[in-house]
Structure 1
Amino acid sequence: MQLTHLNRSLIIFSVLSNFLMLAAPLHMMQVYNRVLVSGSQSTLFYITLIAIAAFALFGACETIRSRIAQRQSARYVVERAETLFSACSDTPDKTRTNEILRHFNTTKQFLASKSHIGLYDLPFAPLFLLLLFAVHYQIGLLTLVGAGILVALALTNKSLSEEEQSRSSEANSNAISFASTILSRGEDIKSMGLMPTLVERWGGMTQKALNAQENATRTTARIHGISRATRQILQILIMAWGAFLVLGGDLSGGLIFAASMISGRALQPIEQVIGGWESIVRAGKASREVEDFLEHHGQPVLPIQQPEPTGRLSVENVSVYAGEAKLLDDLSFTLQSGEFLGVVGPSGAGKSTLARVLAGAIHPTEGRVMLDGCDRRNWPENQWGQYVGYVGQDLQLFPVTIAENIARMAIEPDETRVVEAAQATGVHELINSFPDGYMSQISGSGIRLSGGQVQRIALARAIYTKPALLILDEANAHLDLAGEERLVSILQTLKTQGVTIVSISQRGHLNQLADKVISLKEGRCTAMHLNRPTDLQSQASRGDRRDAKAATLPAQSLAKAAGT
């Protein structure tokens, strides 16, 4: 990771912390070499006072190091969260995005952990080793051999556990993704009696993940146990060899205990790295995954703000691929401000794909979609969302209040516009019939809405910003006759206000409002019909209803021919 200001602060306080750790061996050495020899109580008092002050300062440094690590974790989140969230929302592979978000959380937690702080102690091991050589070269050599053994154990741990860790991570991700997918379809699972089978499948995936984790943990735990035992044995050997040197007159008694403490401090960071190796490896992999994802899906250069559109829509040679298959094939048409386009066709014809392309939810593989002559890619996201309303086929309301849903999750919803949108779509009275009205929660212990109610609230959300372009994908699918008549009235009003409308509907009733109707089949436009709403109105006003009815027949026949 890049060395930030917080990293440098962590290094500074790590230096202070490690130097202050020398207070204990220095105090021990002074007690044995001076106090016990001279019998001076004042010397004992002052060196003890100094050691206590040093360790009080050491405690402050450790506290500050923990705070710095926590702030570094917070900074990591702040610097990447917005870009990462935006990139994940633009990625169609939700399994991949869930995995990336887990990697992001793993990295965040590691940055605030003791294992991360311990890495900053590792460079001080050679310094303590040099001090041991200064005490006596034989003590230094013995400690060097011990450090070499611990490093060898760390490398062995890496080679033995890395593959198992990778398998464990992959198996765990698969199990979590599977569980998330099936739990989102709880009602379908209950209605079809799928729970026992799905639980068995999930159990098998979980067992595979647990087995892989068990194998990885077994190796790491064994190496960690060996390293701890090795460190304790080394400290005993160092003390015993120090005593041997004292007996030979090559070392003073106070240096035995000082050398033992310093050797422990030299070996401790290595042991910590071995003990936390699993989390270090996991965090390193997670960080690389996140950075690689951001590098390939990071936030692009933001386009400039565009003038308010009139609603003129141009679709030029649009094609959408899904692997080798073409969902849309060289589709072109133009709509002027206030025009209504009806789209019909059999299932799988590409109607919903067209709606998503026009709404800007996905970009075409080839061709372009332009609003008032400006390519969709050149519209800022927030501005495009303001001028385009979209009611998709798979309706989802956010787990917040109804008012916040209609206001498109605005931090401070415009209450007047919320009510106006609800009144325009005929859900104002319905919402006020709930105990909490517009403040009713959609999720948890909140209210449950029917498909038609959700559809009408979604329509209110679509027109909340007074869009210039409105895309409806089966907006009348869950509506009864009265609801559909209300929808027709709403669309007629929006047309008179100059809103350009694209409606995908399997019912011919909505298409009677259309200025143009196109039929899709296998992603291609197989037919286009031009309605004459103005002529219809003039004929009806003259009382010639038979001719007016005849004028609507081509659109109905087109829908019938398309298989709707």
Structure 2
Amino acid sequence: MALSQVCRPLLVFSIFSNLLMLAAPLHMLQIYDRVLSSGSAETLIYISLIAAVALTLFGICEMIRARIAQRLSTQFTVKHADALFAGMTGGAVPVEKSNEIMRSFNTVRTFLASRSLISLYDVPFSPFFLLLLYLLNFQVGLLTTIGAGVLIAVAWLNKKLTKDSQKKASQTGTEAIAFASAIASRSEDIRAMGLLPALVDRWGNMMGAAINAEDASVKQSSFFMALSKSTRQILQITIMAWGAWLVLNGDMSGGMIFAASMISGKVLQPIEQMIGSWDGINRAQSAYTDLEKVLYGQENKIEKITQPDPSGHLTISNVSLTLDGQDKSLDILKDINFKVSPGELLAIIGPSGSGKSTLARIIAGAASPSTGEVMLDGCVQKNWPTEQWGRWVGYVGQEILLFPGTVAENISRMSSDENEAQIIKAAQLAGAHNLINSFPDGYMTKIGGDGVRLSGGQKQRIALARALYSSPKLLILDEPNAHLDQEGENILMKSLNRLKKSGVAIIIVTQRRSILKTANRIMMIKEGRQVPLNANSERPKPKTTANAGEPAPYSSIARPYPYRSPKSA
């Protein structure tokens, strides 16, 4: 629901509420002009009972309006939360802006359930109450019109003069929170490197800037709020005094003075409330504008048709990735072409920073190429439904991220209907079954937060089990043995051989020579380009000499392992 849309139930009960508010001034008018002049106790009792019933209904309407506002907030959350989360995790929102987007989402939710929203529905009734004043007395109506104009001018000035300060306050506050969230996740590294004093100093400077900006914003808005409140009170006194003058001249009755004073308050009060809550209204509107960009893209996303189950034929065609800089563009990858068949293992090697991990992320679907196509069984990656692609493609990145939860939940990819047999099968295939059973609670051991802290090798083996949970046809591993000891590496090699025999196409990015023994082909990436290794076997040529004490480079493999087809492997 957009903030500019009208909620009909809230509008209907706002009509009832504002009409029932007339009970008090009408009761006052009848007391002074009818009861006191006639001395009728019976009339007093009846009109008081009628007023009490009307004000009771008014209270019920106010309660219902508050409930409707809360329901609007709930409806907004239910309708947009999934799309927003999908946009944030699906790449539609930059990582550095995720905290800001979530903050905007909570700002809109809070506003929809607040009194500020309800007060906006009272503003349109100010002209109705103003018309009643003109019917009571033209001069009182004119005086109230002038007062309303003054308050509207104050509201306009409030909006115009506080816009920049509110924007700056919001921006600096978001930057400080984002910085704190980023460094909080690296607390151990911060302590180890003694960075805490410097980071605390920087965060203090950012919070200081946020506090100063917030103070300047509140200073301006509080001035206009105080101005509106004092102006309204002065107007109330002026209207009362002018009414008394009219009574002295015989132009109004005594009851009309009090009725006119109360009705004029109904004209001015919504305007004053709007000025007082203008900061929140402005923040909510700005927050919704930020959210709308993400929500529109997600809600208008075209649903992709489900593809047939793949066999695992991967084709990389002219894949390039270019980053646009201020001065010139930087080619991360340039014209990468290769194919991998089911049951085949391709090892990608090359110097650090050559683009190997980037290529792995593009193949897995974690990043998008500037040009070129990634195809699985002839279907372009972008035409695969995301969930189906994730089922048939397993990926273990260089940086392992396990989610807060149990080991079983992580292996099952946080599925709500996890398959226990499938979890154990994936763990066994990854060689992690015995490791997991050595944990205090086995598969139900909690990790993350207050749970068990895992080593890098343990994380890699659990991440491999997670990648194998859905029985993928394509498996992409980025440095899968970087944190493994010899035993763990032997288990990994056995797992890879079993996967090859079962017909899984495997791509491994590696810096270690040992894993090349199980590879069918080797491809080198250097400075973002494919570098031919050998015209016949695509393997590195051995050098005849090497500097003493230096490890042999990739072009100097001790044994030039011959090409092995998937069948012979």
Task: Give TM-score, length-normalised by structure 1.
Answer: 0.93
Determine which of 497, 502, 516 is the counterpart of 1:497: 502
Which 5+ residue runs of structure 1 have no aligned equivalent?
534-549, 557-564
- Is 1:343 aligned with 2:348? yes
- Is 1:553 aligned with 2:559? yes
Query: 1:519 matched to which residue of 2?
Result: 524
- Is 1:142 aligned with 2:147? no
Tell me, in whole angstroms, the C-alpha distance in 2 between the residues paired with 1:223 and 1:360.
52
Tell me, in whole angstroms, the C-alpha distance in 1 between the residues paired with 2:357 and 2:475.
14
- Is 1:225 aligned with 2:226? yes
| Deviation at residue 31 of structure 1 after TM alignment | 0.8
Tell me, in whole angstroms, the C-alpha distance in 2 between the residues paired with 1:81 and 1:379.
24
Residues 500 and 506 of structure 2 are in contact (CA less than 8 Å); yes or no, is this contact kept in structure 1?
Answer: yes
Residues 522 and 538 of structure 2 are in contact (CA less than 8 Å); yes or no, is this contact kept in structure 1?
Answer: no
Matched residues, number: 540
| Deviation at residue 283 of structure 1 after TM alignment | 0.5
Residues 515 and 531 of structure 1 are in contact (CA less than 8 Å); yes or no, is this contact kept in structure 2?
Answer: no
- Is 1:362 aligned with 2:367? yes
Map Cα deviations across residues 127-152 of structure 1 (whole Å, 9 max, x no partner): 11111111101101111111111111
Query: 1:69 matched to which residue of 2?
Result: 69
Output the amino acid matched with 1:17. S
Residues 318 and 373 of structure 2 are in contact (CA less than 8 Å); yes or no, is this contact kept in structure 1?
Answer: yes
Q: Equivalent residues in 2 for 1:279-318 (5 A)?
A: 279-296=280-297, 300-318=301-319
Tell me, in whole angstroms, the C-alpha distance in 2 between the residues paired with 1:175 and 1:299.
33
Secondary structure class of the residue paired with 1:554:
coil
Residues 28 and 254 of structure 1 are in contact (CA less than 8 Å); yes or no, is this contact kept in structure 2?
Answer: yes
Query: 1:559 matched to which residue of 2?
Result: none
Change (3 A) 1:314 1:360: same
- Is 1:446 aligned with 2:451? yes
Residues 86 and 299 of structure 1 are in contact (CA less than 8 Å); yes or no, is this contact kept in structure 2?
Answer: no
Q: Return 71-80 or 305-314, whichever deviates more.
A: 71-80
Residues 515 and 532 of structure 1 are in contact (CA less than 8 Å); yes or no, is this contact kept in structure 2?
Answer: no
Change (3 A) 1:473 1:551: closer
Which 5+ residue runs of structure 2 have no aligned equivalent?
540-555, 563-569
Output the amino acid matched with 1:98. N
- Is 1:391 aligned with 2:392? no
| Deviation at residue 294 of structure 1 after TM alignment | 3.0
| Deviation at residue 327 of structure 1 after TM alignment | 1.2
Query: 2:49 matched to which residue of 1?
Result: 49
Q: Return 495-504 or 324-333, whichever deviates more.
A: 324-333
| Deviation at residue 5 of structure 1 after TM alignment | 9.3
Tell me, in whole angstroms, the C-alpha distance in 2 between the residues paired with 1:528 and 1:306.
36
Output the amino acid matched with 2:274. V
Tell me, in whole angstroms, the C-alpha distance in 2 between the residues paired with 1:380 and 1:296.
16
Tell me, in whole angstroms, the C-alpha distance in 2 between the residues paired with 1:38 and 1:350.
96
Tell me, in whole angstroms, the C-alpha distance in 2 between the residues paired with 1:2 and 1:294.
11
Q: Equivalent residues in 2 for 1:417-496 (5 A)?
A: 417-496=422-501
Residues 3 and 285 of structure 2 are in contact (CA less than 8 Å); yes or no, is this contact kept in structure 1?
Answer: no
Change (3 A) 1:345 1:320: same
| Deviation at residue 300 of structure 1 after TM alignment | 1.8
Tell me, in whole angstroms, the C-alpha distance in 1 between the residues paired with 2:164 and 2:538.
68
| Deviation at residue 43 of structure 1 after TM alignment | 1.0
Output the amino acid matched with 1:184. S
Change (3 A) 1:211 1:177: same
Change (3 A) 1:202 1:448: same
Query: 2:172 matched to which residue of 1?
Result: 171
Tell me, in whole angstroms, the C-alpha distance in 2 between the residues paired with 1:155 and 1:265.
20
Output the amino acid matched with 2:481. N
Query: 2:259 matched to which residue of 1?
Result: 258
Secondary structure class of the residue paired with 1:512:
helix
Secondary structure class of the residue paired with 2:307:
coil
Query: 1:28 matched to which residue of 2?
Result: 28
Q: Larger helix proportion, structure 1 or 2?
A: 1
| Deviation at residue 3 of structure 1 after TM alignment | 8.1
Sequence identity percentage = 52
| Deviation at residue 297 of structure 1 after TM alignment | 6.0
Tell me, in whole angstroms, the C-alpha distance in 1 between the residues paired with 2:77 and 2:481.
42
Tell me, in whole angstroms, the C-alpha distance in 1 between the residues paired with 2:5 and 2:185.
43
Tell me, in whole angstroms, the C-alpha distance in 1 between the residues paired with 2:317 and 2:561.
24
Q: Return 45-54 or 487-496, whichever deviates more.
A: 45-54
Secondary structure class of the residue paired with 2:518:
coil
| Deviation at residue 532 of structure 1 after TM alignment | 10
Secondary structure class of the residue paired with 1:396:
coil
Tell me, in whole angstroms, the C-alpha distance in 1 between the residues paired with 2:64 and 2:199.
49
Tell me, in whole angstroms, the C-alpha distance in 1 between the residues paired with 2:156 and 2:3.
25
Query: 1:332 matched to which residue of 2?
Result: 337
Tell me, in whole angstroms, the C-alpha distance in 1 between the residues paired with 2:557 and 2:351.
24
Task: Give TM-score, length-normalised by structure 2.
Answer: 0.92
| Deviation at residue 409 of structure 1 after TM alignment | 0.7
Tell me, in whole angstroms, the C-alpha distance in 2 between the residues paired with 1:89 and 1:339.
31
Tell me, in whole angstroms, the C-alpha distance in 2 between the residues paired with 1:311 and 1:134.
82
Tell me, in whole angstroms, the C-alpha distance in 2 between the residues paired with 1:229 and 1:389.
66
Residues 400 and 442 of structure 1 are in contact (CA less than 8 Å); yes or no, is this contact kept in structure 2?
Answer: yes
Residues 456 and 483 of structure 2 are in contact (CA less than 8 Å); yes or no, is this contact kept in structure 1?
Answer: yes
Query: 1:131 matched to which residue of 2?
Result: 132
Tell me, in whole angstroms, the C-alpha distance in 2 between the residues paired with 1:5 and 1:317.
48
Tell me, in whole angstroms, the C-alpha distance in 2 between the residues paired with 1:14 and 1:328.
61
| Deviation at residue 312 of structure 1 after TM alignment | 0.4
Map Cα deviations across residues 355-407 of structure 1 (whole Å, 9 max, x no partner): 10111111211000000000001110111111010000010100111100000
Q: Return 462-471 or 2-11, whichever deviates more.
A: 2-11
Secondary structure class of the residue paired with 1:465:
coil
Output the amino acid matched with 2:486. L
Tell me, in whole angstroms, the C-alpha distance in 2 between the residues paired with 1:477 and 1:150.
68
Tell me, in whole angstroms, the C-alpha distance in 1 between the residues paired with 2:312 and 2:259.
81
Change (3 A) 1:407 1:89: same
Query: 2:186 matched to which residue of 1?
Result: 185
Tell me, in whole angstroms, the C-alpha distance in 2 between the residues paired with 1:34 and 1:107.
49
| Deviation at residue 94 of structure 1 after TM alignment | 0.8
| Deviation at residue 73 of structure 1 after TM alignment | 1.3
Residues 393 and 473 of structure 1 are in contact (CA less than 8 Å); yes or no, is this contact kept in structure 2?
Answer: yes
Tell me, in whole angstroms, the C-alpha distance in 2 between the residues paired with 1:430 and 1:317.
41
Tell me, in whole angstroms, the C-alpha distance in 2 between the residues paired with 1:177 and 1:402.
29
Residues 87 and 298 of structure 1 are in contact (CA less than 8 Å); yes or no, is this contact kept in structure 2?
Answer: no
Tell me, in whole angstroms, the C-alpha distance in 2 between the residues paired with 1:490 and 1:2.
52
Secondary structure class of the residue paired with 1:483:
helix
Tell me, in whole angstroms, the C-alpha distance in 2 between the residues paired with 1:297 and 1:326.
30
Deviation above 4 Å: which 4+ runs of structure 1?
1-6, 296-299, 528-533
Secondary structure class of the residue paired with 1:140:
helix
Output the amino acid matched with 2:166. Q
Secondary structure class of the residue paired with 1:294:
helix
Change (3 A) 1:3 1:519: closer
Q: Return 502-511 or 470-479, whichever deviates more.
A: 502-511
Query: 1:114 matched to which residue of 2?
Result: 115
Secondary structure class of the residue paired with 2:17:
helix
Query: 1:540 matched to which residue of 2?
Result: none
Tell me, in whole angstroms, the C-alpha distance in 1 between the residues paired with 2:485 and 2:2.
59
Map Cα deviations across residues 56-96 of structure 1 (whole Å, 9 max, x no partner): 11111111111111111111122222222112112262112
Change (3 A) 1:325 1:298: farther
Tell me, in whole angstroms, the C-alpha distance in 2 between the residues paired with 1:120 and 1:528.
73
Query: 1:322 matched to which residue of 2?
Result: 323
- Is 1:151 aligned with 2:137? no
Q: CA RMSD in A?
A: 1.8
| Deviation at residue 555 of structure 1 after TM alignment | 5.5
Residues 523 and 538 of structure 2 are in contact (CA less than 8 Å); yes or no, is this contact kept in structure 1?
Answer: no
Tell me, in whole angstroms, the C-alpha distance in 2 between the residues paired with 1:483 and 1:351.
23
Tell me, in whole angstroms, the C-alpha distance in 2 between the residues paired with 1:199 and 1:298.
41
Tell me, in whole angstroms, the C-alpha distance in 2 between the residues paired with 1:39 and 1:248.
25
Query: 1:542 matched to which residue of 2?
Result: none
